[in-house]
Amino acid sequence: MRALLTRIRDSIFRVGWPEDDRKALLAMRSSIILHLHAPKVRPASLRFKATWALGFVSLVLTLSLVMTGIYLMFYYIPHPDAAWRSMKDLAFVVPFGVVTRNLHRWGAHAMVALVTLHMLRVFLSGGYKAPREANWVAGVGLWVLTLALSFTGYLLPWDQLAYWAVTVGSHMVASVPLIGKPTALLLLGDRSVGEAALLRFYVLHCVVLPCVLGGLVAFHIYRVRRDGGLVTSEHAPPEEPRLVPAWPHLVYRELVVTLIVVAVLLAVSFAFNAPLEPLADPGRTPNPAKAPWYFLGIQELAHYSAFWGGVFVPGAFVAGLCLLPYVDRGEAGIGRYWPPERMFACTAFVAIGLFFLVVTIIGTFFRGPAWALMWWPY
C-alpha cells in the first residue's frame, strides 16, 4: 500500500516532495499547474497588501462557478415549461441541489464585486502601465465578460425576478442607436423574452461565454508572469533578498486563501438560500421592474436619458478603461497605492467609482413604483 501511495505521489511530484529549494524549482517547472507560476517571485509581491489576494480570489471563484455550474447543468432544462420546475427540483429533490445552487448564485454575486475591486486595486497601484497595457485591456474584457455571464445566468431560473430583470436589460440594449434593436433581436431571438431567449441565454451562459472567459483568464495569468510578475513598490527594504522560490512561499499562501474562500462560500450558502420568485408571468409586470443590481446604476442613469445615461456613459467608461494605459504613461509612483505623483488619476478614478456606487444604491434601494424616488429603502 505504502509503495502504491509513493508511486502515485511520484507520478505527480516527479522530482519527489519539494523539500529543498532545488527540488522546489524543479517541481514548479515539471507540474502543469505549478508551472503557471514563475519558479521564483519577489518577496514584496507576496505581501497581502500587494494584491489583497483579489485576483487569486477571482480565480478561485471562477473555478467554483464552473464546478457548481456543471452540477446544475445535469438537472436544469432550458425551456419555459420546465426551467422553473428544475429550480424547485434542485431545492427539494436533488441531493445537495439547494446548496449547489446557493454556491453558484452567491459565488456569481461575489465574483462581480471582487473582479471590480481587483480592477480598482490594479488601477490604484498603477498596474496598468507599461509593460502591462495588454493585460489591463484583457482584464477589462474579463470584467465585461463577468457582467455578461451574470446577466445571462440571471434569466435561467425563469421566475418573475429573472424574467423582468432581463426584459429591462434587453430594453436598455435596444435603446442603443442603430445597432441596439438588431442586437436585442439577435440576443432574444424574438421581440420579447421567451422560449428563444431562454435557449440563447443558456447556450451563451453555459458554453460560449465560459469558453471565452477560460481562454482570456489563461492569457491573463500567462501575461502576469511574462510581464515580470506583479508591480511592487520600489521602496522595498534594501536588505530584502531579491527572489524566493514560489514553492512553498506563494503556493502555500494560495492554498490558505482557497480554503478561506471555500469556507466562507459554504457558510453563506448553508445560511442563506438563493431567492426563487413565482413562475415568470409575461402578463404581470412588477412595479418597478428592476435590472440585476450591478446594472441598476445604469438603469438609474437611463431613467434620465436612455441614450446618454444607458448607453453613452457606460460605453465611454469601458472605452476609457481600454485607452487608459496608452494615454496615462507616466512612470512615477508605480507599485504604491494612491502615491502623491498619481494623486489626480487615483482621485478621479475613485470619484467615478463612487458616483457609480451612489447611483447603484439609489436604483437598488430608493426607487419605488413608477421609478419614483423614495426616502426610505423600498
- Interface contacts to ligand HEM, rule CB under 6 A: 51, 54-56, 58-59, 62, 115, 118-119, 122, 125, 127-128, 132, 135-136, 139-140, 142-143, 146, 217, 220-221, 224, 230-231
> Cβ closer to ligand HEM: 91 or 322?
322
Q: What angle do CA 101, 103, 108 make, to 5 degrees?
A: 100
Grid cell for residue 25: 524549482
Minimum distance between the CB of residue 58 and ligand HEM, rounded to whole angstroms?
4
Report residue 365 as a C-alpha cell.
434601494
> Minimal distance in Å, beta carbon 375 to ligand HEM?
35
Cα–Cα distance measured from residue 197 to residue 204, given in angstroms and rounded to the nearest whole number = 10
Q: How far is the CB of 144 from ligand HEM (least distance, A)?
A: 9
Nearer to ligand HEM, 132 or 290 (CB): 132
Q: Which is nearer to ligand HEM, 51 or 160 (CB)?
A: 51
Strands (E), the chain: 40-41, 244-245
Q: Please state the closest distance from residue 291 (CB atom) to ligand HEM, in A.
A: 21
* Residue 1: CB minimum distance to ligand HEM, A: 38
Question: Is 72:90 a contact under the CB 8 Å cutoff?
Answer: yes
- Greatest CA separation for the chain: 72
CB of 48 to ligand HEM, least distance (A): 10
Phi, psi of 159, rounded to the nearest 5 degrees: -105, 180
Burial of 28-41, coded b for 16+ CB within 10 Å and e otherwise, reads beebeebeebbbbb
The sign of the torsion formed by the CA atoms of 116, 118, 120, 122 equals: negative
Residue 288 DSSP label:
S
> Which residues lie closer than 8 Å to 222 by C-beta, 6 or more apart?
36
Residue 217 and residue 17 in contact, taking contact as beta carbons nearer than 8 Å: no
Task: Report the residue number, 47 or 284, with the smaller CB distance to ligand HEM.
Answer: 47
- Pick 13 or 219: Cβ nearer ligand HEM: 219
- C-alpha cell of residue 139: 482584464
Burial tier of 149 (Cβ tally within 10 Å: 0-12, 13-18, 19+): buried
- Comparing CB distances to ligand HEM, the nearer of 132 and 367 is 132
- Closer residue to ligand HEM (CB): 145 or 199: 145
Q: How far is the CB of 26 from ligand HEM (least distance, A)?
A: 24
Amino acid in the structure at residue 280: A
- Cα separation, 75 vs 54, whole angstroms: 32
CB contact at 8 A, 161 and 284 = no
Q: Which residue is nearest to ligand HEM (CB)?
A: 139
Q: How far is the CB of 207 from ligand HEM (least distance, A)?
A: 17
In angstroms, give the least distance from the CB of 249 to ligand HEM.
14
Cβ closest to ligand HEM, residue 174 vs residue 324:
324
For Cα atoms 303, 309, 315, give the angle at the middle one, nearest 5 degrees.
Answer: 145
Residue with cell string 460560449: 208
Shortest spacing between CB 363 and ligand HEM, in angstroms? 22
Q: Report the residue number, 144 or 263, with the smaller CB distance to ligand HEM.
A: 144
Nine cell digits for residue 144? 465585461
Name which of 98 and 122 has its Cβ closer to ligand HEM. Answer: 122
Q: Residue 163 class from Cβ within 10 Å (0-12 exposed, 13-18 middle, 19+ buried)?
A: buried
